[in-house]
Structure 1
Amino acid sequence: MFIETWAAVLVLVALVVAGVPVVFAFAGSSLFGLVIALGGAWPAMDLVGQTALSGIKDYNFVVIPCFTVMGMLIAHSGAASDLFNVVNRRLRGVPGRLAVATVGGNAVFAAVTGVGVAAAAAFSHVAYPVMRANRYSRSFATGCIAGSSVLGLLIPPSVFMIVWAILTEQSVGRLFAAGVVPGLLLAGMYALYCAAFATLRPASAPESERVVQAPSRSESLGALYVGLLIVITLGGIWFGFFTPTEGSAVGLVGALLVAWAKGMRWRGIHQAFIESGRTVTPIMLLLLTATMFSKLVALNGLPQEVQSILESWGLGLSGTMMFMVAVWFILGCMIDSISIMLLTVPIFWPIATSLGIDPIVFALVGILVIEAGVLTPPFGMSIFVVKASVPDAELTVREIFIGVAPYWVLILFLAWLIYAWPPLATWLPSRM
């Protein structure tokens, strides 16, 4: 048994339980383990410095801030509101029209931002007041907003997929392609649930008696701008005109043009960049410190040791996969999703590879299960973002958790479906 690695893991768990921010827990436990493993502080500090420098210089990391700023600009410019209004007004006669429009708007919004937090905040301001004005229940309205906000973690350009690709050295473009069909399928499942709920419980989602007007010219233009941005950015990546990193830069320039066309000026653009920095900085710091932890894991062969333990339990392929899913889901109830990925993927990835699990399938199942953790108590990052963003003092966190429960159940169902029928995730990447 590799004492130094397990000691570092125990230190990491102890620091997290004690309430130390995860980024510092990763850094402290990694340094502690490396000092023991390398026999001194200076060799450990040299390795940490080299790891941090190589991480900062990694060309692939540029994708994360570019796509985040892109999404923030779209949200702040009012294009997200235009998108919701256009979808809403095209769904006349659909049960739970406003909830279905929220799902549809989030699905499209997800294609211009890989950060679910941005979607949750944007649609809390855009969709919630409209739903409450139409007498939707608080639980159903906020559950729909929080539940559909996580579509951005699956539909490209997902920050989750970018982080997963960096950790496992996979192609970002192939993972983006793999998320398209499952992402659209999940959005469809969400929309069907909303329509069914509104039909079975009309008191919680009544149909408005007001006449639904056609979208205005300004709203149609805003939605069209978002559509063109998606086609240019993701289309360019999939058809090989530019790499994902180059595509993120193209998307950022396009978002700036959209924001300017929507009347946004330097003050608003500056604010969007500031908010993006607040979102991106913790992610980048987590990536750097988690890379240090990955070095320690690789140095001492922890994945091989965990694999031998699992083999001794006789779990087999499906049993091992179920074990990983259980770990992801339980961790999702306690810590944030990016931290779960950074903590577990360096250990689980070599095990999955050795067992012959398809890399695309494993990535999608892992992302989906971790994604469910964004919605589960007691952490539920999206739930607390919605609670903070919704202009309703009477709304309770409990109401949001109740309303969002069906959404994470559907996420877990889709994860099982992909594992049972891999072409759902692998078909589109195989055509690239």
Structure 2
Amino acid sequence: MSGGAAFSALVIAGLIFLVLIGIPVVTSLGVASVVGLAVLTQSADIAFGLLGTTAFEAIRGYVFAVIPLFVLMGELIARSGAAADLFTSLSRLLKRVPGSLAVSTVAGNAVFAAVVGVSVASAAAFSRIAYPVMVKAGYDKRIALGCVAGSSALGMLIPPSVLMIIWGILTQQSIGKLFVAGVIPGLLLALCYAVLCVVRAIVSPEKFGKSPRATEAVSPAATPATRDELLGSFGCGLAVFTVLGGIWAGLFTPTEGAGIGVIVALVLSLAKGMRWAGLRAAILATGRTSAPIMFLLIFAQMYSRLLALGGVGETIQVAMAGLGLGAGMVIVVMVLVWFVLGMFVDSTSIILLTVPIFAPLAQQMGIDPLAFAIIGILAIEVGIITPPFGIAVFTVKAAINEPQTPLSTIFLGAAPYWVLLLGMVAAVYWFPSLASWLPSVN
């Protein structure tokens, strides 16, 4: 390994150390990248000059508007009450299915994911919407909480997904194709989750309600549908159909689709009675969510330049080739890295830290880039329900506000969903057409 590559590898190790000890990722990336580039170029002025140029280039692009627009769309729909309407409508539709409330939670998360794109938002929303109803119906708490936490992972796989947007920006892949690539794996995973709930409800009905009649009595489906509920449910479906359908059909770009989605969400929110205070809160929440991501993207570009100048990517590729590992073992190593990082670091940061290294290596190994992206997002999502620091589990715990319910109950409840997530990682690797087929027919 050259001296520059060795030093860059040392900087990366220092970067990971800073992240793991609790230094914010954006700060760690910035410090490590600027210091590393200053040493490699032997000039602090060049390093800071590159920082200024990178900051300008990283966020001036038209494509970067897609992040705050999709976040705003999700905030408007979430705050309008449409998610609760969606759950109620699905409960009514599925009321004869064993474990209907759990299946409705999975289905609701799948649709809600397609308008929010953030797993944590789904976990928080359905902890407040679905969990109280399931508990009132006599569901075992482990079953109910596990269902909410486990199915929230759909938020980053079913498009539009913030992780897919960031992945596409970092790898210069088509965001629209990444969105479409996630549709089949996302729907299959949601179907597997629903089947899991049905099978468990048949095998252990006592854990899914005191009795079918009692469950039906407290279900939202027990009351007649209101016009407001139908409006919220229809609005969610319209937003999904308009945005994803338009992108897939080539009628508009992801950025244009995000803009149209915001218009649909705004009209829905106003029709649902949202006023200026709610709109202002949604806009401020969008800024609080989007601004850190934009800063992360700036320093991620600096990090990529450090890797390129230091020759780290090439060094890792040569090392992997020297070990004689096949594509399958390389994927296993990557998944293990994502798996471990997912227990300590948020999903966005994991992508920014690893994808600049892993994506070129996967391309060299001949792995389909769309399939690799879905594998990566799935593997990273495993971490959000993995102890000790699964962020979706902590979100559910905070949202239900039950001090007597330990975190272990939620982790154990989410374990079957964790297994299915890993199974989908393997399925996409062995059958890459699950991710690549739909974009190819576009």
Equivalent position amino acid for 1:58 in 2: G
| 1:96 corresponds to 2:93 | no
Unmatched 5+ stretches in structure 1:
none
Partner of 1:234: 244
Deviation of the 1:122 alpha carbon:
1.1
Map Cα deviations across residues 156-203 of structure 1 (whole Å, 9 max, x no partner): 101111011001000011111111111100000001111112222222
Deviation of the 1:394 alpha carbon:
2.1
Write the mapping of 1:164-313 to structure 2, written as runs, cut at 5 A: 164-206=167-209, 207-209=212-214, 210-211=216-217, 212-313=222-323
Structure 1 stretch displaced more, 69-78 or 211-220: 211-220
Deviation of the 1:352 alpha carbon:
0.9
Aligned positions, number: 432
Partner of 2:8: 5
Equivalent position amino acid for 1:290 in 2: A
| 1:331 corresponds to 2:334 | no
Deviation of the 1:391 alpha carbon:
3.8
**Is residue 89–residue 214 contact of structure 1 (8 Å, CA) maintained in 2?**
no
Map Cα deviations across residues 114-141 of structure 1 (whole Å, 9 max, x no partner): 1112111111111111111111122211
Equivalent position amino acid for 1:342 in 2: L
Deviation of the 1:214 alpha carbon:
4.4
Equivalent-residue separation in structure 1 for 2:300 and 2:372 (angstroms): 20
Equivalent position amino acid for 1:33 in 2: G
Map Cα deviations across residues 219-255 of structure 1 (whole Å, 9 max, x no partner): 1221011111111111111111111001101101110
Equivalent-residue separation in structure 2 for 1:77 and 1:420 (angstroms): 41
| 1:134 corresponds to 2:137 | yes
Partner of 1:392: 402
Partner of 1:57: 60
Partner of 2:84: 81
Equivalent-residue separation in structure 2 for 1:13 and 1:235 (angstroms): 40
| Partner of residue 32 from structure 1, selected from 35, 44, 65 | 35
Partner of 1:67: 70
Equivalent position amino acid for 1:41 in 2: A
Partner of 1:359: 369
Q: What TM-score do you get using the length of structure 1 for normalisation?
A: 0.97
**Is residue 239–residue 264 contact of structure 2 (8 Å, CA) maintained in 1?**
yes
Equivalent position amino acid for 1:292 in 2: M
What is the percent sequence identity of the aligned residues? 50
Q: 1:392 to 1:360 in 2, by over 3 A?
A: same
Deviation of the 1:395 alpha carbon:
2.0
**Is residue 146–residue 410 contact of structure 2 (8 Å, CA) maintained in 1?**
yes
| 1:154 corresponds to 2:164 | no
| 1:105 corresponds to 2:108 | yes
**Is residue 20–residue 345 contact of structure 2 (8 Å, CA) maintained in 1?**
no
Equivalent-residue separation in structure 2 for 1:309 and 1:73 (angstroms): 48
Equivalent-residue separation in structure 2 for 1:416 and 1:265 (angstroms): 46
Equivalent-residue separation in structure 1 for 2:34 and 2:164 (angstroms): 27
| 1:410 corresponds to 2:413 | no
Partner of 1:374: 384
Q: CA RMSD in A?
A: 1.3
Partner of 1:419: 429
Equivalent position amino acid for 1:394 in 2: Q
Q: What TM-score do you get using the length of structure 2 for normalisation?
A: 0.95
Equivalent-residue separation in structure 1 for 2:277 and 2:144 (angstroms): 32
**Is residue 232–residue 272 contact of structure 2 (8 Å, CA) maintained in 1?**
yes
**Is residue 69–residue 258 contact of structure 2 (8 Å, CA) maintained in 1?**
yes
Map Cα deviations across residues 13-54 of structure 1 (whole Å, 9 max, x no partner): 221233211111111111111011111111111011111111
Partner of 2:119: 116
What SS does the aligned partner of 1:374 have?
helix
What SS does the aligned partner of 1:310 have?
helix
Map Cα deviations across residues 258-306 of structure 1 (whole Å, 9 max, x no partner): 0000011111111122222222222222222122111101122211101
